Amino acid sequence: MTTPRKRVVVFISGGGSNMLALLKATKAADYPAEIVGVISDKSDAGGLAKAAAEGITTFAFVRKEFASKEAHEEAILSQLQALSPDIICLAGYMRLLSGRFIQAYEGRIINIHPSLLPLFPGLHTHQRAIDAGMRIAGCTVHFVTEGMDEGPVVGQAAVPVLTDDTADSLAARVLTVEHQIYPQSLRLVAEGKVRMEDGRAVSFASTPGVHGRQIVSLLGDAN
């Protein structure tokens, strides 16, 4: 008997390149998840049209149209109840979720952040990495908890920082591995090979490179 694919809703605020990477992965017959909806906090987010063009149902919940953060999130939670996701993927969603929201889907929300956490949480990660003299940068997929960018790690990918890098050139290099590590990480979560227990990422996979708290994938090169 075929195991049902996990239902995924993706949250975006912009162009949705990571959302498209996830969507591309879900087209494989053996991928354990499917995207059933895309939600944005911006009605003009470029990713909405891209998702719609792929036949994905989209929703925009513009913050200024709601009296409060609580009302805004309540509307989103109501829509999620109808979509019934197993997993929520934050892919460039630029709003912090409240504790109440996170608790409603505890252990089922993952995010991708453009740094090797715990280094450089928050914004301007690439310039901060350059300013700090880093020789390696990268991205992290992690479970979402109430602390910003503090949740347990599911997967990481690293790239070199080159001597002539700017924030933009480094961001472009990191983005290429974001598009690889996010689908890999979602697969692990959807298959139940990694889950959050007691605030930690616990692995149940037997594949090489999977050790306890995190799965590290070094995908970058110097080219």
User: For residue 87, what are the contacts with CB-CB under 8 A and spacing of at least 6?
Assistant: 6, 7, 8, 9, 33, 108, 109, 110, 186, 189, 190
> Looking at 72, 113, 126, 179, which residue is catalytic?
113
211 noted as active-site residue: no
Q: Which of 103, 206, 117 is nearest to 158 (CA)?
A: 117
H or E element, residue 128? helix 125-131
At how many degrees (to 10) do helices 167-190 and 17-26 cross?
30
Please report the beta strands in the chain, taking only residues with DSSP state E, as ranges in sequence order: 6-12, 33-40, 58-60, 87-90, 109-113, 136-143, 153-160, 194-197, 200-203, 210-211, 214-216
Active site residues: 113
